[in-house]
């Protein structure tokens, strides 16, 4: 049951992250490493869900969720200090990054429990 919940959250999170990243950057693709990592997270999570199975799937899910948590942690706290940031997010984007960080941490915990 926990594995199914984790896989469902991974698919939903991947879809939402890819659509949001594309919508945010459409017409003005910013500094490439800032958006490439998000697509890499999507790729890792979707590979874990649809391609790999058994033990490799567990490790790949843990890798994807951990990478996502790290990226979202950096995005959140880097933008809370505007002088060190390349771009300054508004309140709603900070809220979205915070939710993404929470979902990523939940994914890490679900991967450990499974």
Q: Is the whole-model pTM more than 0.75?
A: yes
Q: Over the stretch 23-82, which tens digit does the pLDDT of each residue have?
A: 887 877 777 777 789 999 999 999 999 998 888 999 999 999 999 999 999 888 877 776
CA 83, 87, 93, 96 torsion: positive or negative?
negative
pLDDT computed for residue 88 by the predictor: 62
The Cα angle at residue 30 between residues 24 and 36, in degrees rounded to 5 = 80
Q: Over the stretch 6-25, which tens digit does the pLDDT of each residue have?
A: 999 999 999 999 999 888 87
């Amino acid at each position: 049951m926990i594995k199914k919940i984790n896989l469902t959250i991974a698919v939903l999170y991947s879809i939402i992250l890819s659509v949001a990243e594309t919508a945010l950057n459409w017409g003005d693709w910013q500094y490439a490493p800032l958006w490439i990592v998000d697509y890499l997270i999507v790729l890792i999570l979707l590979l874990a869900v649809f391609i790999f199975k058994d033990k490799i799937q567990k490790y790949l899910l843990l890798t994807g969720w951990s990478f996502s948590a790290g990226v979202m942690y950096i995005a959140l706290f880097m933008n809370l200090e505007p002088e060190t940031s390349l771009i300054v997010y508004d309140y709603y984007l900070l809220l979205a990054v915070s939710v993404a960080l929470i979902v990523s941490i939940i994914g890490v915990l679900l991967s450990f429990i499974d």
